[in-house]
Amino acid sequence: MGNRKLDTALVPGLWFFKVAAESGTFARAAEELCVTQSAVSQRVRALEDRLDTKLFERAGREVKLTASGLMLLGAVREGFAGLQTGLDRLPRDQTTTVLKVRCAPSLALEWLTPRLHDFMRQHPDVSVSIFADWTYTDRVQFERDAIDVAVGYGDPGIQGRQLLVSLPELVRPVCSPDIYGDLNGTLPSSAAVVLLHDVAPGVDAAPNVEWMHWTDARGAVSSRRTTDLHFNLAWLAYQAAIESRGVAIGRSLLVDRLLRERRLVFANDQPAPEASSYFVLAAIVPPPGSPIHRFVEWLTAELSASLDKARSLFLEYSH
């Protein structure tokens, strides 16, 4: 009597037998298993010798299962199916890809960070690390820190990187409701209007560029004299505007929530000119389906939808 104890030597023969039985010929089985037909024949013959029973009736190229073969095929199918079910149920190690994203600080604070939970929910296999600073397009740091994606505002300076997305922004002066009242009659004529500046609105941008852009396009925000208060974050300028410290240039994406909450209002009814653009950079064009590609797709959709919503409010002239 042959050795019918299941062991590591028997399992490969059982798999060859299953494929041969389901294929109907050793030639088709060999093609599926990526081996030669003689290798299939040898495996089956060795299995028959070990089990001491004939499994196939051979008739030319065709093979037909014997009664023993039919019995074994049922057991093998059930056994391998149960094994596959067990493998499928095994918990996977929580290995994740970590994306390193460098983002303009005010954009990270006001817009990107509050939305990241949505990306994490949709893509649980991808973790994200956000670095909020002004060096998001510096090529040397981009490479040294292995940054996957950079999200910023202004001139991306794309030498050595790929510009994946560019979406234009609108700007309008914004202030608190109290300051709006002052600008429209209650402020003493001798009092100055404080212009709140973000001294780093974009890569290599001049400190006063946003107010200069507004003045060139739409004229002065007030006929009164002005003074200046500077911050190194647009987010800080907007907080100062909320506290009635002056008038800031609001980028639609960054002040949309504050306008809808009535913490800020438009300082005047002048239409909004286009300013700089938001951009997304990567070291290379990401392959479809890769973690970077999935993040950029999500980011682009979110950014486009948010800008559409914010721009619609900016194109209204009411308070």
Backbone phi and psi for residue 168, each to the nearest 5 degrees, phi listed first = -70, 150
Percent of the chain exceeding pLDDT 70 equals 90
Question: Are domains 98-168+276-312 and 170-275 of this chain identical in fold?
Answer: yes
**Domain 170-275: assigned CATH number:** 3.40.190.10
For residue 60, how many C-alpha atoms fall within 13 Å in the half-sphere facing its CB? 1
Contact 209, 201 (CB under 8 A): yes
Sign, CA torsion 282/287/292/294: positive
What is the reported pTM? 0.66
pLDDT for the residue numbered 147: 87
Supply 84's token pair: 């596959």
Supply 148's token pair: 């996957």
Give the C-alpha separation, 274 to 17, whole Å: 71
Q: Does domain 10-89 have CATH number 3.90.79.10?
A: no
pLDDT for the residue numbered 190: 67
Determine the topology of domain 98-168+276-312 in CATH. D-Maltodextrin-Binding Protein; domain 2 (3.40.190)
| pLDDT beneath 70, residues of the chain | 1-2, 88, 91-96, 135-141, 157-160, 184-190, 203-204, 317-319
Give me the residue label for tokens 């994406």: 253
Give me the residue label for tokens 């987010």: 235
Residue 216, number of CB atoms within 10 A of its CB: 9
Question: Which residue ranges make up each domain of the chain?
Answer: 10-89, 98-168+276-312, 170-275
> 135-161 pLDDT, tens per residue?
656 666 677 788 899 998 887 766 557
pLDDT for the residue numbered 301: 96
